[in-house]
Amino acid sequence: MGSGKMHLLVSSIRIAAATMLICVAGYATAVWALAQAIAPDTANGSLIVGQGGAVVGSRQVAQAFTEPRYFWPRPSAVDYDGAGAGGSNKSPTSTEVANRGRELAERYGATLDNPVPADLVSASGAGLDPHISEEGALYQAGRVAAARGLETAPVEKLVRGAAVSPGGVLTPGRIVNVLELNLALDAMERTSGR
């Protein structure tokens, strides 16, 4: 290697060091410091601390619900693994997706006259979608109310109050955060039982 080419490497290494220092160490530290100062809750993962002081989950991350007394989230191809997220990556024409749809529709007790909303049987991209559609929540309200010995109306009212439009005029439907809805449900039962 000629000395000219050697110089090219030396200059390259000097620039590598400078960019590493400024674009990695400096940049990441600055963003981190600002994030911890202005938005410490979300910067640390939007964690929710339960009544006993332990972390019950993240507001932004779906968790498994299988008991009839809770609203159920969308299905997850990774079983709600918060440390190994992923989608089904199945073609929407595939028999695997059809089989899962059939099983879940049965579980929801869906009939052709009362079909289940599609989001409740479609796996999300990361398997951690924290939301279901407002229709999907209302579809479950009867089951949830019955399992808790409540009237359906107040549960439906809770759903409607929790539903938000993610993009205002830009998005047609409303969605509900399942974990927050279930926490509100537990809280409602605690206060009404008192």
Partner 1 sequence: MLMQSLLFVALVVGGTALISWPLGRYMKWAMDPADPSAGLAGWNTRVMRIVAGSLAAPDQTWKRYMLAMLAFNVVMFLVTYAILALQQHLPLNPDGKGALEGSLIFNTAASFTSNTNLQHYSGEVSLSYLSQLAGLMWLQFVSAATGIAALAALARGLAGRPLGNFFMDVQRASFLVLLPVAFIVAILLVLGGVPMTFEGAVLATTLEGVQQTIARGPVAAFVSIKQLGTNGGGFFGPNSTHPLENPGFWTNILEMFAIIIIPMACVWMFGRIVGRLRHAGVISAVMLGFIAVKITGAVYFESAPTQAFADLPIERTVGNLEGKELRFGATGGPLWSILTTSTSNGSVGSMHDSLNPMTGLMPMVGMWLNSTFGGVGVGMINMFLYIVVGVFIAGMMIGRTPEYLGWRVEAREVKLALFALLAHGLFILGGTAIFAATPWGADTLNNVGPHGFSEILYEFTSASANNGSGFEGLGDNTVPWNIATGIVMLLARFIPIILPLAIVGSLSSKRRSAESSGTLSVESGVFAAMLASTIFVVGALTFFPAATLGPIAEHVMFMN
Smallest distance from partner 1 to CB 142, Å: 16
| DSSP bridge partners of 133 | 175
Short-list 43, 51, 83, 76, CA closest to 62: 76
Smaller CB separation from partner 1, 153 or 188: 188
Smaller CB separation from partner 1, 83 or 149: 83
Smallest distance from partner 1 to CB 146, Å: 18
| Alpha-carbon distance values, 192 to 153, 175, 186 (Å) | 14, 26, 10
Smaller CB separation from partner 1, 12 or 192: 12
Smaller CB separation from partner 1, 46 or 152: 46
Smallest distance from partner 1 to CB 126, Å: 4
Short-list 33, 62, 61, 30, CA closest to 46: 61
CA dist 115 and 101 (Å) reads 11
Smallest distance from partner 1 to CB 155, Å: 16
Length of the chain: 194
CA dist 190 and 193 (Å) reads 5
Smaller CB separation from partner 1, 12 or 153: 12
Smallest distance from partner 1 to CB 72, Å: 11
Residue 117 is classified by DSSP as P
Short-list 92, 189, 114, CA closest to 144: 189
Smallest distance from partner 1 to CB 22, Å: 7
Structure tokens at 167: 């993009």
Q: 73, 132 in Cβ contact below 8 A?
A: yes
Residue 82 is classified by DSSP as T
Smaller CB separation from partner 1, 149 or 168: 168
